[in-house]
Amino acid sequence: MCIVISFEDVRRYYVVGENVIKALDGISFDIISGSFLAIMGPSGSGKSTLMNLIGCLDTPTSGVIRIDGETLGDMGEDELALIRNRKIGFVFQNFNLLPKLSALDNVMVPLLYRGIPLKERKEKAEALLEKVGLGDRMKHRPTELSGGQKQRVAIARALSNNPSIILADEPTGALDSKTGDQIMELFENLNDEGRTIVFVTHDRTLGARCRSSISIRDGRIVDGC
Ligand SMILES: Nc1ncnc2c1ncn2[C@@H]1O[C@H](COP(=O)(O)OP(=O)(O)O)[C@@H](O)[C@H]1O
Ligand SMILES: [Mg+2]
């Protein structure tokens, strides 16, 4: 078993005026390759802060974070960008799609950043949209799609660089429970392919479907792993 993500006494404090907000206050855990881990906890408990740190979108105030055994704090911006773009796919609650672009173009964007030629970009993006069940909606813009369909586009986009880790921050939070269930199934399929999934949710039923879970409260782990 191989540890893909490791946190060692990680803290993330925000200074706002004279106050210090301890969003994460000494978090340690390991995530094994191929896990499907739920992160649960009330609003404001530090879940998104944690995800942003794993996703190299933010840096900790103190502590050590390792991805595939490599310490993020030792890396320069270019190395961090490589991890962010090649190893990790991010899915957000509010989809974060580019509103003026079609589903196909949204999925093609990360491939463009990687310098993949147009024909290959298009073929890859089409295959990914087929994979998430949206083969018949490629030309639609986000405003012409339902919430569940938008989230499928966002998942296809997250898969475009074939990441081994997928971070999903309340991906079903804006969806009704039936649609949320279908999106959960998609993540389960991605986990069956061997990808490590970290899945933030408020929903206990969905949380129970994950193979392991961590509960956090006020920036500390109170249960799990
Ligand atoms: N950029 C920021 N500046 C100051 N405080 C923040 C910032 N981001 C989050 N926080 C605070 O940190 C705590 C944890 O936030 P967050 O990680 O977003 O929680 P969750 O995702 O569990 O709802 C909250 O108290 C929040 O108000
Ligand atoms: Mg959050």
Q: Where are the domains of the chain?
A: 3-224
Nearest CA to ligand 1 atom 17: 46
The distance of Cα 22 from the centroid of its chain, to the nearest Å, equals 22
Where the chain has pLDDT below 70, the residues are 225
User: Diameter of the chain by CA atoms?
Assistant: 54
Decide: 10 and 185 in contact? Cβ < 8 Å. no
Q: CA 122, 113, 173, 25: dihedral to nearest 10 degrees?
A: 160
What is the number of the ligand closest to the CA of 24?
1
Q: pLDDT (tens digit, 9 = 90+) per residue, 167-198?
A: 999 999 999 999 999 999 999 999 999 999 99
pLDDT of residue 225: 55
pLDDT of residue 204: 86
* Ligand 1 pocket check for 3: Cβ under 6 Å: no
pLDDT of residue 224: 72
Cα of 92 to ligand 1 centre, how many Å? 15
* Ligand 1 pocket check for 40: Cβ under 6 Å: no
* Ligand 1 pocket check for 45: Cβ under 6 Å: yes
pLDDT of residue 78: 92
pLDDT of residue 200: 96
Cα gap 73→184, rounded to integer Å = 33
Cα gap 171→201, rounded to integer Å = 8
Q: Kindly report the CATH number that applies to the domain delimited by 3-224.
A: 3.40.50.300
Q: What atom in ligand 1 is closest to the CA of residue 169?
A: 21
Decide: 72 and 65 in contact? Cβ < 8 Å. yes
pTM of the model as a whole: 0.94
The distance of Cα 132 from the centroid of its chain, to the nearest Å, equals 16
pLDDT of residue 223: 82
Dihedrals phi, psi of 210, to nearest 5 degrees: -75, 155
